[in-house]
């Protein structure tokens, strides 16, 4: 119950109205009231706020009925977000509007012999994308394969060592004068998968990424859990060695469990078809699920990883079954949809920009880096 929290209720109602307009617009105020069960005066106030802040626009009037026609509203698609999602050797880029519709896509490959460094390479990509925007740049969203602290500092990023202990978010905001959000790639994949495929079905989820790295994302009560300084989900730092008194510092930014998984993946790659190695691999993944599962008690665990198919999932489920009470055994599921990371980053960028605009009391959030 939200008694005594009128501001929270107002924000919630605004989110409900905005999301419906983005999804179903053009749509009128009476139609919004009918579909959301909010009163017409409440809808009118929320629509007026969204209009004032520039999130939506009026687009014609209803042609039905007699008398004065009701105004219709839709998302102001002139606001764009630039996405740069890390992939091995470069970035997958996209221009998207407020509704999440992708307007332009391109793959940027980093050539070490031609590019001075990864930062200059990234800035070059951003400049090229800004030039293609028709309208305004709302924000820039970037995913990286490392821990992103709440301050924006990046740590444990062996794929791009020059960004270790570097505040990429702060540097890019200085260079471009645009709101920048840097996030961990697995965390955004988790958010995108949950909100696009599982929301309404489950409240608690763990997402495990086990391809060229090992990490996890956690959803608790329908919300992305970040933990202290955004360290939640660093599954690779679980301890799997026997001697706790010996020194086991992270190697190349990777913890003990991640090193175990990555080394076993390399062995499987060098010895294709080895059933024993695959069995060891499934055991290792199962141990990670049990370790994180007994703490978070997720309803579902989604896995994205090398050598994980339907048959592997059944084997892993058999491995974890003895370690959970029957009534709390999580369901296992595979994800092969690579677009989830983009969807998660879009949602996070829009949410961040709206919250920032509300705090600052901005009349409009139009941004133009050339002004």
219: its two tokens = 């959803």
Quick check: pTM over 0.85? Answer: no
Secondary structure element (H or E) that encloses residue 85, with its range: strand 79-87
**CB–CB of 244/226 below 8 Å?**
no
Tell the burial category of 67 from Cβ atoms under 10 Å away from its Cβ (0-12, 13-18, 19+). exposed
Please measure the distance between the N-terminal and C-terminal CA atoms of the chain and give it in whole angstroms: 46
Taking the C-alpha atoms of 76, 82, 87 and 92 in order, what is their torsion angle to the nearest 10 degrees?
A: 70
3-state secondary structure 31-46: HHHHHHCCCHHHHHHH
pLDDT by position in tens, the chain (length 371): 333 445 545 667 788 888 888 888 889 999 999 998 899 999 999 999 888 888 888 887 766 555 567 899 988 888 888 999 998 889 999 998 877 788 899 999 998 877 679 999 999 999 999 999 888 888 999 999 988 988 889 988 888 999 999 999 999 999 999 999 999 999 999 999 998 899 889 999 999 999 988 899 999 999 999 888 888 888 888 887 655 555 555 555 677 888 889 999 999 999 988 999 999 999 999 999 999 999 999 999 999 998 999 999 999 999 999 999 999 999 999 998 888 898 899 888 877 777 766 555 543 433 334 43
Contact 320, 286 (CB under 8 A): yes
Domains 79-187+340-360 and 191-334 share a fold: yes
Longest dimension (CA), the chain: 81
333: left (phi over 0), alpha (psi -120 to 50) or beta: beta
CATH class of 191-334: alpha beta
CATH architecture of 79-187+340-360: 2-Layer Sandwich (3.30)
Q: For residue 341, report the phi and psi dihedrals to the nearest 5 degrees.
A: -60, -45
Q: Which residues of 238-275 are buried (b: 16+ CB within 10 A; e: fewer)?
A: bebeeeeeeeeeeeebbbbbbbbbbebbeebeeeeeee
CB atoms within 10 A of CB 184: 27
Could you report the per-residue pLDDT of 132-146, keeping only the tens digit for each?
988 888 899 999 998
pLDDT tens string 90-130: 999 999 887 778 889 999 999 887 767 999 999 999 999 99
Domain boundaries, the chain: 6-75, 79-187+340-360, 191-334
Spell out a b/e string for 140-175, using b for 16 or more CB atoms within 10 Å of the CB, else e.
bbbbbbbbbbeebbbbbbebbeebeebbbbebbbee
Per-residue pLDDT reduced to its tens digit, 31-54: 999 998 899 999 999 999 888 888
* Strand, helix or coil for residue 129: helix
> Span 6-75: which CATH code?
1.10.10.10
198/192 Cα distance (integer angstroms): 10
Report whether 262 contacts 254 (CB < 8 A).
Answer: yes
């Amino acid at each position: 119950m939200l008694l005594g929290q009128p501001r929270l209720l107002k924000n919630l109602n605004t989110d409900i109205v905005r999301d419906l307009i983005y999804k179903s617009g053009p749509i009128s105020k009476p139609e919004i009231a009918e579909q959301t069960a909010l009163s017409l005066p409440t809808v009118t106030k929320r629509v007026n706020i969204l209009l004032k802040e520039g999130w939506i626009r009026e687009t014609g009037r209803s042609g039905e009925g007699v008398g004065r026609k009701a105004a219709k509203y839709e998302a102001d698609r002139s606001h764009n977000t630039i996405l740069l999602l890390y992939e091995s050797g470069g970035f997958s880029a996209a221009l998207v509007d407020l509704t999440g519709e992708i307007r332009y896509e391109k793959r940027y490959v980093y050539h070490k012999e031609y590019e001075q460094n990864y930062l200059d390479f990234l800035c070059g990509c951003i400049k090229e994308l800004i030039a293609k925007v028709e309208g305004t740049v709302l924000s820039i969203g970037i995913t990286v394969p490392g821990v992103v602290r709440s301050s924006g500092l990046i740590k444990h990023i062996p794929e791009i060592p020059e960004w270790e202990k570097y505040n990429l978010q702060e540097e890019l905001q200085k260079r471009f004068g645009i709101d920048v959000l840097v996030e961990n790639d697995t965390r955004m994949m988790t958010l995108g998968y949950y909100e696009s495929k599982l929301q309404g079905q489950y409240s608690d989820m763990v997402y495990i990424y086990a391809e060229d790295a090992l990490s996890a994302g956690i959803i608790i009560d329908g919300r992305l859990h970040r933990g202290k300084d955004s360290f939640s989900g660093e599954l690779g730092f679980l301890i799997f060695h026997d001697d706790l008194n010996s020194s086991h510092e992270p190697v190349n930014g990777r913890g003990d469990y991640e090193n175990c998984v990555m080394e076993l993946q390399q062995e499987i790659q060098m010895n294709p078809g080895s059933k024993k190695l695959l069995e060891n691999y499934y055991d290792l993944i199962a141990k990670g699920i049990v370790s994180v599962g007994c703490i978070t008690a997720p309803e579902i665990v989604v896995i994205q990883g090398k050598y994980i198919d339907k048959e592997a999932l059944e084997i892993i489920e058999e491995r974890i079954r003895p370690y959970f009470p029957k009534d709390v055994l999580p369901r296992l599921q595979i994800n092969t949809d690579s677009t989830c990371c983009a969807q998660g980053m879009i949602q996070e960028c829009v949410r961040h920009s709206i919250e920032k605009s509300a705090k600052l009391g901005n009349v409009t959030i139009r941004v133009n880096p050339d002004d």
